[in-house]
Chain A
């Protein structure tokens, strides 16, 4: 396909500008053993990284099938499945009617028949009509059948806000999904994570809800296909994206990039912030949370979803449970508000911005025991 984002014209153009030096330095430092088998690091957008991951999953697993609204001929409203139908055929990549209950219901049947369905729900808010299929069938079938009917389904959900879209296009459903026994939930924060987490998720025997931060789709970054984690972390663990010693910011998805900006600004004020990308929202990497907060002794959780019963409450409890003796202050939450997700014009007032996160940090820093 001539208009495929796989062609990588953009990526090559960009890599000369800002990352050639980096990637060259990288490969020299890490030595030749890795380079012998793995393709070189390339700069690409999260769209391209996800597209590449799906392309490889289709090539590696003949039982993998991709489907959803506009996934086939159009290549997805965000171009994530662009070119895949042309390359892998209409039996492997196809369009569905506008019926999420049907998309997920069909996934159950396909999984029973031995396939690895990779359905897409076009937007977060469109998952609601399929809640019955997700909660009552997909999440439980393995349990219900005493392990004879696993549900290896990777459900891609473009998630969270930030693109000025209409209602149902900016919601954060991680707490809903994480509450359901039997589901795993993951959200990547950059192109490298997107590539590796999607490839990993698509090889799991369990249903995984893959929440793509749609506001970061166009963000470019280095992707090293041959090396998921230079630090050797577990594929289901959290990841320290920046080290610091005064306070831990815990985030996932699109909020990780914002927290990294906040950490940069806080450094100007002499506050060294550690940014922990939770990555897996179910199960949560409690050990990584504890290790970070035992070091920094302060924590702020940031998410776009509303405050009440959001995943931040779970994270705060896990930190309190494991770090109660060392905590300098109660864990703060900086989140969206307890309102329906607002229209695009009001989005900036809703999503935690830099100042709201800094305020949250300040509240923790100045906390005095009573």
Chain B
């Protein structure tokens, strides 16, 4: 398993920090991509941050009222090593299935 850290992104031009209002996920929880993670407030607005990826939440940074700087860790996920950061889906290895049978009279000339 690999741990992936998601730092607080730039939430608008020139914003340097945000205040945590409420965490919508907790450590140990499995989250899906785009699932809302946390509600934060900047000097411009309050926004929900969607998860950039699927994974298990390992730790979260800051409680309600705490300030986090842009670029500092916000949340860490645990994901299987070989799928860390992947676009798309790892194909499943499946036993070959067929409906077509071959038939031929092969003259061995």
Contacts and interface: CB of A to CB of B under 8 A. Distances in A.
Interface of A: 3, 5, 9-10, 45, 47, 70, 74-79, 123, 162-166, 169, 214-215, 217-219, 246, 261-262, 264-266, 269-271, 344, 354-355, 358-359, 361-362, 365-366
A358 B100 CA distance: 6
Given A70-B85, A74-B85, A354-B96, A163 B90 contact: yes
Contacts of A218: 82, 90-91
A165 B81 contact: no
B101 interface: yes
B89 A164 contact: yes
A355 B97 CA distance: 8
Given A358-B100, A358-B102, A5 B82 contact: yes
A344 B104 CA distance: 36
A354 to B, nearest CB: 5
B84 interface: yes
B84 A3 contact: yes
Nearest to A74: B85
B82 A79 contact: yes
Contacts of B2: 3
B41 to A, nearest CB: 29
Given A10-B82, A362-B103, A365-B102, A265 B96 contact: yes
B82 A45 contact: yes
A123 B98 CA distance: 31
Contact of B88 (A45, A270, A344, A355): A344
A234 B84 CA distance: 36
A34 B97 CA distance: 40
B34 to A, nearest CB: 14
Contact of A169 (B88, B96, B101): B88
A74 B6 CA distance: 12
A246 B106 contact: yes
A75 B104 CA distance: 51
B3 A261 contact: no
B44 interface: no
Contact of A362 (B81, B82, B91, B100): B100
Contacts of B104: 246, 271, 362, 365-366
Per CB-CB distance, the 6 closest pairs between chain A and chain B, nearest first, are: A165-B88, A3-B2, A163-B88, A365-B104, A358-B100, A269-B102
Which of B93, B100, B102, B103 has most chain A Cβ within 10 Å? B102
Given A166-B87, A218-B82, 16 more contacts: A3-B1, A3-B2, A9-B81, A77-B85, A123-B87, A163-B87, A163-B89, A163-B90, A164-B91, A166-B88, A169-B88, A269-B102, A270-B102, A344-B89, A355-B100, A362-B104
B32 to A, nearest CB: 15
A53 B84 CA distance: 20
Nearest to B1: A3
27 contacts: A3-B2, A3-B84, A5-B81, A10-B82, A47-B82, A70-B85, A77-B87, A78-B85, A78-B86, A79-B82, A79-B86, A163-B87, A163-B88, A163-B89, A163-B90, A164-B91, A165-B88, A166-B87, A169-B87, A246-B106, A262-B96, A269-B103, A355-B100, A358-B98, A361-B102, A362-B100, A365-B103
A179 B103 CA distance: 38
B98 A265 contact: yes
Contacts of B3: 3
A336 B64 CA distance: 53
Given A10-B81, A354-B96, A266 B102 contact: yes
A163 B87 CA distance: 8
A261 B2 CA distance: 33
B91 A163 contact: yes
Contact of B87 (A165, A361, A362): A165
